[in-house]
Amino acid sequence: MLRSSGKNNVCTLVVTLQQRLELDDLKRYLSDKPVYQWVSKLRLKKGLPFTLIKWVVDAKGDVAEIQQHHLKENQNVPDNMLATTINVINQAPFKIDLLQRSKTGTVLIFTWHHAFMDAHGGESLAHFLGSQLTSKQPEWLHQQKINLPLKQRALIAQDMKNYLHEVSKLPLLSLYKKQSAKPNLHYQLLSFNETQSQLISERARQHGAGISLSNFYLAATACAVAFIHQQRGTLEGDVLVPVPLDRRRRGSDDPIIGNQVSFLFYRIPKKALSDLQNCTTELINQMRNLMRDNNPEHGLVMMDFMRRNPGLIYRLMLEAPTAGLMASFFYSDTGESLQKYDELFGCPVESAVHYPPTMYPPGMTFVFSRFRGCLQLSFGYMEQVINDKEVEQLFNQLRSLLLGEASE
């Protein structure tokens, strides 16, 4: 990812506080949380080929220094701060930056490597660090065990690999165009108020999404991307989207460390991309079939085999069926995970937004979330993939699809 994109697999959570938080006060809070010191000294250590790399505590490792910056009046967080990288071999996998606004309030940027924590885990760690000390400690680690014989696991992994080769066969719809230079990463936000968010939820149910509102968001996103593609010329190929699936117990934030996700791989046929209802129905049907066939569990078995491979072999296995294009775009929905951010480090929270890793190709990532009942979308994109005018058209189309006639 670092070679092709200029950014590795890093997640970013930006929390804006209504009051000013001084650097010394932040350090004082963190000094009361031993887990912060421990996390800061973790490093990823490579072993022999075909063995798992491991997180180890480097006793001589430096605690991640908190950088303090200053924002000008009405200045947004610079894109280069949201596109930071972390070398987990010799740097802490989790870090914090402090941005002071010109008049009042503070912006906190929590950054972590996805190999260390998934999106939910990183958000939960940031919340724990900023909360008052309590007697309840979260579950930090969870040993995932796959209780199946080796031969059966190998057959499941082989079947899953064959399924992925089939579902990702070319042609795939994408706005990606191969470039020689490393692309530049940008972010934009699309926000809805509470009334609009309630309307979107109602429209999702009218389109048959039921409690799975995320499928409606994904359908609208796929149709909007297809619209931009059609503006450029003939619509070609199906949409391929791997959607992360949180494996935690419903309503639980535990465990914090480690990736607790599997994936649902959707292939949306070209004929469904011109109609929001058809696209939503297609996704609902695919989701039911994938869950019935234990597809997420089989994905975990396959991933357990794959992660033991050296990086070069791993990359070749991922790229082989799609000539390097692993998705039409990336998508996730963090759901209600940001709802707990009412106060952090003793200050009321004004807003919280999750910014995703964005790989190139495909160079576009959509992350939906909710904050205080309001739906929001953070969109990460490479300027070589989609220009500013097209981003505006994409947002207008997406807003229209989500809100329906009320957007006019």
Taking the C-alpha atoms of residue 144 and residue 47, their distance in angstroms, rounded to an integer, is 21
The pLDDT assigned to 360 comes to: 80
pLDDT band of residue 7 (cuts 50, 70, 90) is: low
Residue with token string 């998934």: 118
Residue 134: what pLDDT? 63
CA distance 262 to 267: 17
113 has a pLDDT exceeding 80: yes
Residues of the chain with CATH 3.30.559.10: 2-129
Give the C-alpha distances (Å, rounded to integers) separating 207 from 145, 211, 265, 282, 346: 38, 11, 21, 11, 42
Q: Residue 142 — pLDDT band, cuts 50, 70, 90?
A: confident
Does residue 102 have a pLDDT over 80?
Answer: yes
CATH classification for the domain delimited by 150-337+357-407, as one of 3.60.15.10, 3.20.20.100, 3.40.50.2300, 3.30.559.30? 3.30.559.30
Q: State residue 146's pLDDT score.
A: 67
List the structure tokens of 212.
């799975």
Q: What is the pLDDT of residues 63-86, one digit of tens each?
A: 878 999 999 888 889 888 888 888
Q: How many CB atoms lie within 10 A of CB 142?
A: 14
Task: Using the predicted structure, report yes or no on whether residue 2 has a pLDDT greater than 70.
Answer: no
pLDDT tens for each residue of 274-305? 999 999 999 999 999 999 999 999 988 888 88
The whole-number pLDDT of residue 267 equals 96
3-state helix, strand, coil in the chain (%, to 5): 40, 25, 40
pLDDT of residue 83: 80
d(CA 298, CA 184): 35
Mean pLDDT of the region 298-313: 82
- Strand, helix or coil at 98? strand
Q: Residue 327 and residue 329: Cα distance in Å, rounded?
A: 5
- Residue 394 scores a pLDDT above 90: yes
What pLDDT is stored for residue 407 in this prediction?
Answer: 46
Tokens of 94: 């989790």
Cite the residue boundaries of each domain of the chain with CATH code 3.30.559.30: 150-337+357-407
DSSP for residue 340 = G
Tokens of 348: 């009321």
* Per-residue pLDDT, 177: 80
CATH fourth-level superfamily of 2-129:
Chloramphenicol acetyltransferase-like domain (3.30.559.10)
| Angle (CA) 321 322 325, round 5° | 145
pLDDT, tens only, 122-140: 999 999 999 986 657 888 8
* pLDDT beyond 90 at 350: yes
pLDDT at 408 over 50: no
Tokens representing 292 are: 């019935």
60 Cβ contact list (under 8 Å, min separation 6): none
DSSP state of 365: E
- Residue 326 reports pLDDT greater than 50: yes
Amino acid making up residue 143: Q
Please provide residue 45's backbone torsions phi and psi, each rounded to the nearest 5 degrees.
-115, 125
